[in-house]
Amino acid sequence: MLLRRYPIFNRRLALVAYGIDYQLSSPAEWPSLAQHCRLLAQGRQYLVPFTHEQLDEQRPLLLDQDAIPLVEASSERLPSSFPVLEQWRDSRRRLAVHGANRDPRWLGASRMLVFWMGEEGICQPTEHKRMALNIETWADFLPLRESGVDFFAGGFLARPELVNQRANKPDMVLVQQILQLICHEEFSFSQVARLLEQDTSLPGQLITYVNSPGFDHASPITSVSRALSYLGEQEIRKFVLINGLAKMSQHMPEACTRIAIARARFCELIALTALGKAEASWAFLVGLVLDGSMLSEPLMAHLPKSVLRAIELHEGPLFHLFQLASTYEQGNWALLEQLAPKYQLDPAKLTPVYFQAQMWGQAFLTR
C-alpha cells in the first residue's frame, strides 16, 4: 500500500481538511487504508478518491463520517446507478465530484465541485462549494479566490516560504549565529551551548525536546550542556534547524510548518537506509528548506559541498533522495517505482516510513 496526505486550505489559507491519495496492492488492504486515513486526518475531514469499480464494491462505507469521497462524473453512469452514493447522501455526508458538468444529475448529487487548475468552469459562480487542485503559484491562487472558490490544494500552498518572514528582532542575530554554527560539518558543542543559553526560549525547548518519549535516558536531563552532550551532532543540528526556522517565520501557518518538518523527517529516515547515518541530518536539512530560499547567504556559505550541490545545482545523492521523497509526497506512484530501486528500496515499504514522519512532525509541534 502506498498513501500520501496533502493539506486543503480555505480562502484565508487556514487548514480545514486533508486530501489522501493511495494505491493498494490488494483488496485486503482496504481495512488498513481506512485506519491510516483516520490517523492521518487527525480529526479533520478528508478527501479520498474512488473509482467507479470501488463505488460498486461500496468501499466508501469502510470509511468514517469525516471522509469525503471524490468521484469522477460520467455521462454513461449516473449517480443513481451507484447504491453506495444514495446511502452516503441519506446519511447527509458530503460528496465531491470532478467533471459534474457532464450531466446535471451529477450536480444534484454533489455537495462540492472539484476542478484542476485551468479547467473550464472553475471561476463560474455556483451554489455548490468549489475546490481547486494543483495550485502552484500566487498567480493561480489569487484570481480563484477573487472568483469565490472556497477551497484550495497544491504544492505551492504547502511551502513554508509561502508566508513572509517577520521583521528581524534582537534575538534573530543570536539565532542566525547558532544556525551558522550547526551548518558546519563539525561544530563546537560549547559554542552552541553558550549561544543557546543567551536566548529566552531555546533552552526550555531543548530541555523539553531531549526529555520527550523519543529519547531513552535513566533520569531527566535538566541542563543545556548535558542535553547537547546526550543528543550529539545530528540531533542538535535537527533541533536548531526546526526551532530556528520557527523563529524566523512566526507567522507561518502551523500546517506549513508541520508539512516542512514531516518532509524533512521523511528524507532523514530514508537517508538512514539509503545513504548512511552521517548524511541523515543533511538530508533533513535539504528536506526542510526545499529549494534553499529560506536560507540566508551567510548560512549557505557554511554548508558542506554535498548540501550546496543538492540545493543549488539539483544534483547528487541528497538531491536525488529529496526527489524520491517528493515523488512519494506528490503521489506519483509510477515514477516512484522507477526511483526507489536506485536506493535498493521497496516502494511499498516506504509507506510506514512516511506515516512515521507525518506523526513525528505532528508530535514535534505539540512538545
**For the domain 2-158, what is the CATH superfamily, name and number?**
EAL domain (3.20.20.450)
Alpha-carbon span 69 to 50, nearest angstrom = 7
Q: Determine the straight-line distance between the first and last CA of the chain, rounded to whole angstroms.
A: 30
Instruction: Decide if 96 contacts 71 (C-beta within 8 A).
Output: yes
Show me where the domains of the chain are located: 2-158, 170-364
- Whether the model clears a pTM of 0.85, i.e. scores above it, the answer is no
pLDDT digits (tens, 9 = 90+) for 298-341: 777 778 888 888 988 899 999 999 999 999 988 899 999 998 98
Are 21 and 47 within 8 A, CB to CB? Answer: no
Alpha-carbon span 78 to 356, nearest angstrom: 40
**CATH class for the domain made up of 170-364:** mainly alpha
* Interval 108-143: pLDDT, tens: 888 899 999 989 889 998 989 999 999 988 889 999
Instruction: Please state, in angstroms and rounded to a whole number, the distance separating the CA atoms of residues 346 and 343.
Output: 9
Contacts of 3 by beta carbon, 8 Å cutoff, 6+ apart: 20, 21, 22, 23, 33, 36, 37, 40, 351, 354, 355
Cβ atoms of residues 154 and 134 within 8 Å: yes
C-alpha cell of residue 108: 444534484
Rg of the Cα trace of the chain?
Answer: 23
Please compute the mean of the pLDDT values over residues 70-83 and round it to a whole number.
90
Q: Half-sphere exposure of 85 toward its Cβ, with a 13 Å CA cutoff?
A: 27
Residue among 179, 163, 159 at smallest CA distance from 171? 179
- pLDDT-above-70 percentage for the chain: 89
Q: Please tell me if the domain spanning 2-158 has the same topology as the one spanning 170-364.
A: no
Give the C-alpha separation, 233 to 242, whole Å.
Answer: 14
